[in-house]
Structure 1
């Protein structure tokens, strides 16, 4: 390993935007001191070793805790437990730990490639520790897994996808941002992952925009009309399933975002207020929608049902008869969402029932922060309205990939109940 890892005492500097661990030819040297200035981002993560679920959660009491993408950290369950810490092992042990990650082989990362880009791995980890307010020299095993086995490998994969995307255009041509879709069940940590990726793009000098399918839910008034038009169908009584989204708004938003290729061009992106109407939600006031400015490098688009494909009616009715209407509604979603996505990250789970526990944690955290949230009983009822879709559509999503996806531009990350990536069972 000593032949692979080149250790130096030189200072680490931020990497070039063109650097890629998949094609790097020059070896990086590892610094014994990572002392970079704190990036300018208005986030103050509150870490408590005695927090309710041993998760880091954001205090919502001031505007300082609002991300540049318009979301708040309390809506992001930071899957980085803050207790039972142990000292980070030696450099050689850390290198071996990185190489043992479940995504390494999937990404085609050899020990040599990792060694060549070791500074990049450490700089990414250092900056993520800053934003999550962790001590990079004292990380517990779960935190190391989350950084080195999950967030950083996915970021490097996204970088490679962006590089491949840009290579399709000639010098001087405007390169539209790459739309990367993140399909993952509710509560599994996809919003935290997207936040981490957006932050890493920022510190590498690139601009990205983050959107969620939640941003395109119908207004509370329109949801009421949907409910009246589908009386008795509990799957369409509240937001969530296909049919409860403003597809024209999503088309307008994605089309406009892909045109943000020049400096100074700006637009506001929709946001949804889940706490409105006692947790039933409503579209946020456009006055507080966040503004993004070009040129964008990537658009990070996440959602629990991204990539779901309509199935034959008899198949969905066998899962739940009320799913038939949802299935018909789903046929319009490819043209409104999926066709814009050129690269996919699919977060795979073994059992959809764990969504209930994850959602329960999220709502409890919202209530603890003084926000309106659903009771435990309401959470159970709410999640039960999503489970038929999970049971119907996840098998084909995992077996065939998202709607319209290219296997060469799709990364599947299988996670366990603790939201950690694992090696797939063969």
Structure 2
């Protein structure tokens, strides 16, 4: 009979030697979370890492490994909190055009995330939202969770991020900011939201885990791979991006990603380095 870890490795389409990653990184992390969770109720674990760093895969294994320790864990992806296409269009029309594109702070329904944390800690049922990236819109296929939850794995590319200093917002970091946000209105609003409603959500985190990549170039390469896989699954979708689209899309994330790579490691509770093949290396 196949053991659960091997079954998940196969289901995820991972190489057989991914077992080494599980044993070296995810099992010790699950052990640490379990030790932290025992005296506490409804622990929130932040799993932070840029696109392609393996957050979703890590959370699937953590759910399995924590279940082996009689702990019920569920994953809430920040991506599933994205505003609908219509909501982002209203923001783009009324606030700034760059808010039409999902990704940066300001394009999520943070209140839903806070409500889920509140419901978990109160022992109440809740719905996990879903976002369809192929359609670039919110899905109707939410998942109702009725059982008590011991651990919430809150994962996302900017989970746990801190705002930048005002002086650091003065100059554009790429062509997108220079052309579409020359006066800094968009990046200033993103930074303010990060310091307000996003901070309220991230303040709920009890343990912050950072999946760290080498640099921003690795993020762009990872995103290219993700879009190619999405194109294979949904070849008719108009929302799948070509390489030029990926480069422009990643420009929305560049400022905050570079900031996080510089400032988060010293304050994260756990830092795990991820190589170009999406594997944890130390």
| Interval of TM-score (by shorter of Structure 1 and Structure 2) | 0.7 to 0.9
Contact 1:201 1:207 in 2 (8 A): yes
Match in the other structure for 1:157: 32
Contact 1:217 1:246 in 2 (8 A): yes
Q: Which runs of 5+ in 2 are unaligned?
A: 174-183
Scaled by the length of structure 1, the TM-score of the pair is 0.58
Q: CA deviation at 1:310?
A: 1.2
Counterpart-to-counterpart distance in 2, 1:181 and 1:382: 24
Select which of 300, 309, 315 maps to 2:153: 300
Scaled by the length of structure 2, the TM-score of the pair is 0.85
Q: How far does the alpha carbon of each residue in 1:65-85 deviate from its partner, in whole angstroms, 9 at most, with x for none? A: xxxxxxxxxxxxxxxxxxxxx
Select which of 1, 6, 9 maps to 1:132: 9
Counterpart-to-counterpart distance in 2, 1:318 and 1:160: 45
Query: Secondary structure at 2:83's aligned position in 1?
Result: coil
Match in the other structure for 1:289: 142
Contact 1:230 1:237 in 2 (8 A): no
Counterpart-to-counterpart distance in 1, 2:169 and 2:276: 26
**CA pair 334-222 structure 1, distance change in 2 beyond 3 A:** closer
CA RMSD of aligned residues (A): 2.2
Q: CA deviation at 1:217?
A: 1.2
Q: CA deviation at 1:335?
A: 4.3
Contact 1:184 1:303 in 2 (8 A): yes
Q: How far does the alpha carbon of each residue in 1:192-246 deviate from its partner, in whole angstroms, 9 at most, with x for none? A: 00011112233444322210111211111110011123445x4x33011111111
Counterpart-to-counterpart distance in 2, 1:363 and 1:258: 36
Query: Secondary structure at 1:201's aligned position in 2?
Result: helix
Match in the other structure for 2:22: 147
Counterpart-to-counterpart distance in 2, 1:250 and 1:178: 14
What is the total number of aligned residue pairs between the two structures? 265
Match in the other structure for 1:392: 259
Name which one, 1 or 2, has greater alpha-carbon Rg: 1
Select which of 408, 414, 423 maps to 2:273: 414
Query: Secondary structure at 2:108's aligned position in 1?
Result: coil
Q: CA deviation at 1:334?
A: 4.3
**CA pair 204-393 structure 1, distance change in 2 beyond 3 A:** closer
Matches within 5 A, 1:9-408: 35=1, 126-133=3-10, 142-163=17-38, 165-166=39-40, 176-231=41-96, 234=98, 236-260=99-123, 266-276=125-135, 281-285=136-140, 288-320=141-173, 321=184, 322-370=186-234, 372=237, 373-401=240-268
**CA pair 319-414 structure 1, distance change in 2 beyond 3 A:** farther
Q: How far does the alpha carbon of each residue in 1:64-106 deviate from its partner, in whole angstroms, 9 at most, with x for none? A: xxxxxxxxxxxxxxxxxxxxxxxxxxxxxxxxxxxxxxxxxxx
Contact 2:125 2:145 in 1 (8 A): yes
Contact 1:308 1:394 in 2 (8 A): no
**CA pair 192-314 structure 1, distance change in 2 beyond 3 A:** same
Contact 1:217 1:283 in 2 (8 A): yes
Query: Secondary structure at 1:340's aligned position in 2?
Result: coil
**CA pair 274-301 structure 1, distance change in 2 beyond 3 A:** same
Q: How far does the alpha carbon of each residue in 1:9-36 deviate from its partner, in whole angstroms, 9 at most, with x for none? A: xxxxxxxxxxxxxxxxxxxxxxxxxx5x
Q: CA deviation at 1:319?
A: 5.0
**CA pair 319-161 structure 1, distance change in 2 beyond 3 A:** farther
